[in-house]
Structure formats: structure tokens, C-alpha cells
Structure 1
Amino acid sequence: MSDLNINNVVPRSELEKRWAKCRRFLPEAAPEAGGLLCFSRLQIYYLSGSFVNGAIWLPLEGEPVLFVRKSYDRAKIESSIKTIVPFKSFKDLPPLAKEAGRPLSKILGAETAGLTWQLGEMLTSRLSEYKFVPGDNVLAMARAVKSEWELEIMREVGERHNSALVDVLPEVIEPGMTELEISKYTWNVFFEYGHEGNMRMQTFGSEIFLGHVSAGDSGNYPSSFDGPLGLRGVHPVSPYMGSAAKIWEKGSPLAVDAGFVMEGYHTDKTQVYWSGPKNSIPKEVLDAQLFCQDMQTLAAENLKPGAIVSDVYEIVLAEAEKRGFSEGFMGLGDNKVSFIGHGIGLTVDGFPPIARRFDIPIEKGMVFALEPKHGIPGIGMVGVENTFEITETGSRCITGNNFDIICIDK
């Protein structure tokens, strides 16, 4: 196996920072626990640098133990963790951890979202002498605060994301195409720019594939996705991308809400296009678009270290009410959502959402996707979405700075 060359591995120094962040938040979120036990491949990757099948034990002190079902050889290549051991059953974990010199604590902070009910029952039956407490908030908070290593990746992702949607896609799409045709062109452009294809959602049962391509009234079509932009999708069983039966007609909006991922890290961006010259855009549409851009600016100005996430949400909602845009803001009817943005990183739907009851202080290194959108009956949806990095002094957009509707008059 020594002739294999794996590029872009997570540096040991980066892993150590991640362990330290988890240990920082553990006493607050799970004070009884003596460490974290994680099972989902994404959390295993976050803590080990290898996307393998198994579990990882992070004690409050000392080196973690990476337990691997498959593939042990891959984990040895990709991860700099010093103790990597193969296992077959959950009942093997306690003796293996003890043998490694990092025994499991009697009370474990468990990644409960990483197990199905079936596997959870199997785990508790195999380790009946241990008590499990939820440790998910520890991981959510740790991942919310990005390191400089992570931010460098996300800045590059954002730059490519913006160029693909703003510079290149307008050159290859035109009115008369179906949503599905536009989806295919979007994929082609994204892949040319380095998109890895496999985007991830954190919420159990949520899926994503490219994103939403919504022409005209598709923007208000009933959506099962937890976001304001409606879409018809490819098929009822695959409600993603766009429909082969829906044509982007002259004199209508096209909203492309599509994520971009490289080296596991995502940015989120929505670009609205108009089929025709700028002077053909109705005042109602322009007003709604400018309102959404103003709301993005308002939220971005309030996203700064020390501010409270839920306060940012309330500020924007109050302004929408004051300006008379509450109806249709963040979706029409059942499509309306109760947030204006969300954290983002290794998953699209990162922690925390910008919503009520998330009374969490904003920190330097957090990254948020702001997505103020507005549904217009009979026309569709307009608005913006961009990804913002929290700096020492405020926030800055990493997915471009031109937020206007792009007109395509072919």
C-alpha cells in the first residue's frame, strides 16, 4: 500500500484543533460525559480525516481512538491518528479502548443523530453498562467555528461558485430551454470548475442533488425541501434539479439555487436570471429583488462577533414587516420557512440556522449562507443567496459581490 499517494489529507495540526474545540464545548453541552463517541462517517471524517465505516472515541484528554470496520488500510493512509484499530461489533469497543490506554468513560457523549433507532438499540444493548447522553451540540458548535485551513478551502469554493453562476452559465443557457436542460448545463459548468458532485445534508432524511432550478411559477411550486424556493424537480421521487416539462419562457425569472462543493466543503448561492432585457422586468419584480438585496445587506451588517444569531433574524423580519414585504418573504404559503439563513461547511444545512430561539453568540470563523427570497404570485421567486465569512470586524461575502438579476436576451 505504500505506493499509494493520497493528496489533500487533513493535517495533524488541523485535527488537533478540532479535538480541542470539541473539548471546549463538551463541558457546556454534556457536562457529565467523559468524552465523545461518534458513528456517522461525516463526523468520523471531521475528527479523523478519513471517511470510513466505524466509530471514533474522543476522550476529554489524550489521543482519540479510531475504530474501523472498513477500510482499515484506507484509514491508515489518510488519518494521522496514532491509534487506529479494526473491530467487528460494538461490544468490542470497550476492551479495544482499554487496551489502547483510553478506556471509555462510564458516561459517554454520543452522536445520537449518527445512528438509526435500530443501531442505537444495538449499541445500548452491547454496551449496557454505559450511560449515553446526547453530544450532538458539541459537534455542531465545533464545526460551526471554522479554522483558517477550512476557510481557505471555502474561499476558493466561493470564488469558483460565483464565477460559474455569474460569468459562465449565462453564456450557455437561454429562454426556451427546459429546467432539466438548464440543470445539465449547470452541472457541466460546475464540474469544469471543480465541483466534486457529492453534496451533503446534516438533517436526518434530507437529500440534495445540485439544487433547485426553477423557471417562472416553479419558484412557488409546493416543495418538500426545507427552503423557500419551490421547484417541480425531475420526478416526485426525485424532487431536485428541474423538470423536463417546464420551459423557461420569455419575460419570466429563472432562479438557480445550487450549492458548490470541493474537498468536502460547501458554499451556497442563488442567482436569479431574467429572460429578456432589463427594461422588460416588471416594477414588482425589481422592487422585490432590491428588497431581498437590502435584507441580505442588513443581515450581513449585523453578522459580527458577539452578536446573537436570533437577534439578526428578528432585525430582518421587523424590517420586512416595516417595508410591507412580509407576505411572500421567505416563501409563499406552505413554502414559507422560519429562517433567513444557515451555517454551512461540511454540510449545506450547517449549524446554526438564523432563526428564533438560536440565542448563540456569533464568533469569528463562523460561515453563514444568507438567503432572503420573495415569492410573487403568478410570476415566481426572486432574491439572493450568498455565503458570508465572519471576520474580526464583521462579515464578508465569499461568493461574489454582484447580486443583481442577470438578464439573458437571446
Structure 2
Amino acid sequence: MTTVAPEEIARRLEKFREALAREQIDLAIVRTPVNLLYLSGSIQDGHLIISPEREPLYLVWRVPERARSESPIEVWSIKSFKELPHLIALADLPSPRRLGLEFRLPHSQILLYQRLFPQAEICDISHSLRLLRACKSPWELERLRQAGKQLAEVVAEVPRILREGMTELELAAELEARLRRRGHPGYLRMHGWNQEIHFGHILFGPSGTVSAYVNMPSGGYGPNYALPHGAGWQRLRRQEPLSIDLAGCVEGYMVDQTRLFALEGLPSKALAAYDLVEEIMHMVEEHLRPGEFCEAIYHLALKRIEASPWAEGFMGLGSAKVSFLGHGIGLEIDEYPFLAKSSPFVLEAGMVVAVEPKIHLPDIGLVGLEDTFVVTEAGPERLTLSERGPKIIPI
């Protein structure tokens, strides 16, 4: 079984302890799966106790035996919330004056912690953890590169799979099976509240312009009203855009990529729109460097699109238009930073960003491109490797 390298966990814990010290938080309790995974190497259900000056302790309810095999951190068994103050004291950890919790926890759980530690001021550590995860280590980047290769291998098989009349769901099933055989877990984590996604969006023709409840530039009908986005029952026809937006995933680390395909050809309007999408992508790439302001990059792209005939459909139609051009990605599909209106972020070396300029063409479909990059001092490194440009499949 693969595990996170102990030295990688030690590096992350050291940086998080520094953040706690800066914010004068004397004890943090980490509970959400993605942050448990990041800081301990395990997502077994429990309380990861971290203080700025003491060794961490992982109090696991279910399943402590697995946690011990997955994490280099000391693991104790816990049976009930009520044991927390006693076990913290037994481990010689401080009784908190300022207690850090993730405010993504259910309110009922935060109230439980307040009752257990009535003397403590409750502070949010979610933002600090997201900032910490934004810059990837060499260990993490290796997983992301593997995810890019995984995805490229599968997308390369698309021309052999496509056939006129197949449904979006049929193509999605073919591609998802190939990803699973290459180790994809079949699950994508999202941070956004009430946001859900499966493998991605496979959209044929006009279904690519259908908006959905997810905060993304593409939507689609989905299979039915219970999951109304992504691949559905639309059938593939000649000379219409086929948008394949998928995430590769290796050991929880994701990259995001969109490529455009078509049977026999594309309308001239779609080809012209794609040329602009690729121009914007190249423009953005030039600015994916440390010290660049994310909001400025977004407005640079917006200025270019507003001077074109395609502004109305850029990143959505009408009220469904999204106000971002790109997003951080890693253990979650929507990490820091965001290339967006009012974004406060400045790019740093090690940040990983998915850039996705997309144009909605009413009655035609979605024309877009997406690639994932790591920001480096020497310029961006592209992690998604599939060939760009519309791929026209002859019949």
C-alpha cells in the first residue's frame, strides 16, 4: 500500500505549526477528510490534534488500526467526544485558550467543541489550511504529473471510441472505465459548499451551453433531475462540438483538462471562437509567473474577449456566466488561487492553476480549452499533456 512520505508529512506539519503560532492559536483540531489526508496521510475518522510546540496526536474513532498503517503520527483510539479533554491532558497538550477548528464542520459539531472547551475562543483555521495547500511540494507535483499522463493516455483513445449516435453517457462510461483501470479513484473532491462533480463533463453540441447549479462554466443536462449536470442522453451528431472536460487523479491529486473534438468538421463560427480561446490561453500563460496578480490576469483576458464578437458567451450565458477564468487544483478541484474578479491572490512558485477559457455558442455548443499548470520561476509548466486544437474525426 502506498503512503505519504513521512518527511512530506513533517514538512506540512511544520508549516501549519508556524501558521498557528502567527495566529496565536495554541491548539487546533483537524476533522475534515481532505485536511486529515494532507496533514496526517490518512482520512480515518478522528481528531488530529496539533499545537505550535508539541508533537501532534491523532485520536481516531474509526479505524485506528488503519490510521497507524497509513500515518507516521502517533495514533490513539477514542470512543467518544467526551474523552477529548482527558486525552489531550493525558498527552500533555495545552488546554486551549484559542482553539482552531475548520468552520466547514457542521454547526452541531462546533457547538460540541464549545461545550467541551468552554474557556476557549473558537477560531477558523480553514483559510490557513487552504493557503498552505496552495503551493505544492516536489512530492505533490510528481503525483500531479502522473495524473496528467494518466489523463493524456485516456484522451488519446477518444478517436477510436467515437461513433455517430452514441450518447454522452456512453462515451463517459468508456472514458471513466479507462481512467479507473489506470488507478483513478472515481471520485473528485470539491471544497465549494453544495457543489458536486463526478469525473467531469462530456457534452455534445447544444447540451454544452446548458447551465447547471454547479459553479462552473459548463453544465449539461446530466442523466436526470437528481444529478442535473454532466453527461446525459444527448446523441453525437456530425459537425457539432464535443467538449471533453475530465480530471486525472493519482493518489488524490487532480489535474483538469478540456479538449474539443468533432465528427467530420465544425461550423466556421466554432472554429473562429476556438482560435480566440487558444489566443487567450497563450496570453494567460505568459503571465503565470510568481508575483503576478490573479485579478489582473482575469481582467486581461476579459479585455480581449470584450473586443471580440464572443463576449456574450464567454464563461457562460446570461445569469449563469461565471466570474473566473481559472482555479487552483490539487486534493480538491477548487483550491486557491482563483483567476477571478476581485481575487486577492498573487501567484507564487509551486501554485497549481487550471485555466479554462470557454465560449458558449447558442444552438451550436461549447468551445473551450483547459490546461493545468504549475507556476515556476522559469515560467509555467503544463501538466496536462493532450494535444491542443480541435480534433476532427473523419467518418
Compute the TM-score of the two structures, normalised by the length of structure 2. 0.96
Shift of 1:128: 2.0
Structure 1 distance, partners of 2:282, 2:359, is 15
> Which residue identity is paired with 2:361?
I
Q: What is residue 326 of structure 2 aligned with on the other side?
A: 341
Q: What is residue 170 of structure 2 aligned with on the other side?
A: 181
Structure 2 distance, partners of 1:266, 1:353, is 16
SS at match of 1:156: helix
Structure 1 residues 96-139: Cα deviation after superposition (integer angstroms, max 9, x where no partner): 122112224210221111x1122222222232221111111110
Matches within 5 A, 1:64-83: 64-81=56-73, 83=74
8 Å contact from structure 2 (residues 207, 221) kept in 1: yes
Q: What is residue 371 of structure 1 aligned with on the other side?
A: 356
Residue of 141, 153, 169 corresponding to 1:163 = 153
1:102 matched to 2:99? The reply is no
Structure 1 residues 10-51: Cα deviation after superposition (integer angstroms, max 9, x where no partner): 1110011111222344456xx232243211122111111111
1:226 matched to 2:215? The reply is yes
SS at match of 1:364: coil
8 Å contact from structure 1 (residues 229, 335) kept in 2: no
Structure 1 distance, partners of 2:67, 2:29, is 17
Structure 1 distance, partners of 2:247, 2:186, is 10
Shift of 1:373: 0.3
Shift of 1:274: 1.0
> Which residue identity is paired with 1:20?
E
Residue of 7, 11, 20 corresponding to 1:17 = 11
> Which residue identity is paired with 1:309?
C
Q: What is residue 3 of structure 1 aligned with on the other side?
A: none
Identity %: 32
Residue of 216, 225, 229 corresponding to 1:236 = 225
Shift of 1:183: 1.0
Q: What is residue 4 of structure 1 aligned with on the other side?
A: none
Q: What is residue 316 of structure 2 aligned with on the other side?
A: 331
Shift of 1:62: 2.6
Q: What is residue 346 of structure 2 aligned with on the other side?
A: 361
1:251 matched to 2:239? The reply is yes
Structure 1 distance, partners of 2:95, 2:340, is 36
SS at match of 1:256: strand
Q: What 5-or-longer segments of structure 1 have no aligned partner?
A: 1-6
1:104–1:390 Cα change, 3 Å: farther
1:350 matched to 2:335? The reply is yes
8 Å contact from structure 1 (residues 216, 248) kept in 2: yes
Structure 2 distance, partners of 1:323, 1:21, is 45
Structure 1 residues 207-238: Cα deviation after superposition (integer angstroms, max 9, x where no partner): 11111111111011121111111201111112
Matches within 5 A, 1:51-70: 51-70=43-62
Q: What 5-or-longer segments of structure 2 have no aligned partner?
A: none
Structure 2 distance, partners of 1:309, 1:23, is 27
Aligned residues: 395
Structure 1 residues 378-403: Cα deviation after superposition (integer angstroms, max 9, x where no partner): 10111101110111222121111622
Structure 1 distance, partners of 2:222, 2:353, is 26
Bigger shift: residues 139-148 or 394-403: 394-403
Structure 2 distance, partners of 1:310, 1:17, is 30
Shift of 1:239: 2.5
Q: What is residue 253 of structure 2 aligned with on the other side?
A: 265
Give the RMSD, CA atoms, in angstroms.
1.6
Structure 1 distance, partners of 2:229, 2:250, is 20
Structure 2 distance, partners of 1:240, 1:210, is 11
Shift of 1:143: 0.6
Structure 2 distance, partners of 1:58, 1:175, is 56
Structure 1 distance, partners of 2:62, 2:379, is 43
Structure 2 distance, partners of 1:21, 1:336, is 37
